[in-house]
Amino acid sequence: MTNPFDLTGKVAIVTGANTGIGQGIALALAQAGASIAAVGRSAASETVEKARALGVKAEIISADLSTIEPVGRIVDETVEKLGGLDILVNNAGIIRRNDSLDFSEEDWDAVIDTNLKSTFFLCQAAGRHMVAQGRGKIINIASMLSFQGGIRVPSYTASKSGVAGLTKLLACEWASKGINVNAIAPGYIATNNTTALQADETRNRQIVERIPAARWGEPGDLGGAAVFLASSASDYVQGHVLAVDGGWLAR
């Protein structure tokens, strides 16, 4: 019996692959056999080195997703360097914190442009390639704030709620074309984006006390979900937002 989770011969774009969640997902896909196009503003040298050590091809693609300018190039470079495109993981994202009464237009636009606008247009660019070949897997990275309101992160909450909605819309449009579009909603994961929360002794304690698993997640905890949604094991899963949260939403 063939392994439905085997990604041998597949090519995956992972944005924001240099650290944290993006690196964890990229390495999980590589371990399952996928070649990796590691996209980021800073070179994902460590990720590429570790992926290659797993025996797969991996290439760095430098791109700043604060605008949509590089989206077409990302797809073109991936196909040119790695021979195709089967999987897209939209992980690149930023967060800005301030009280809603004081939140600036600059911080609003920066987060929406990176987290939502660039996500859509990279889905579009990859989707055109995938529709032409009749297959593909797209995984968007949502958030607990795709379900909840949060505090002091209005543009982040809006963007991640938008990612959840966009995931469902694209699934509705593209499922019949052989493309699966789903999302992963990470819980509280220990990354550079959550450094401030981890350093706040009171907030950190409150977070851990609410998580049934009683710990912060690690980037590697998302790997299994990513491999599932990137593989043939999820061929009949469409428009789903999969929470990987240690039980946070169940509490």
Burial label for 231, CB within 10 Å (0-12, 13-18, 19+), is buried
Tell how strand 35-40 and strand 58-62 pair up: parallel
Q: Is 218 in a helix, a strand, or coil?
A: coil
Burial label for 121, CB within 10 Å (0-12, 13-18, 19+), is middle
Q: How many CB atoms lie within 10 A of CB 106?
A: 9
Question: Which one of 32, 35, 74, 156 is the catalytic residue?
Answer: 156
C-beta separation of 113 from 67 below 8 A: yes
- What are 241's strand-pairing partners? 183
188 is catalytic: no
| Active site (catalytic) residues | 156
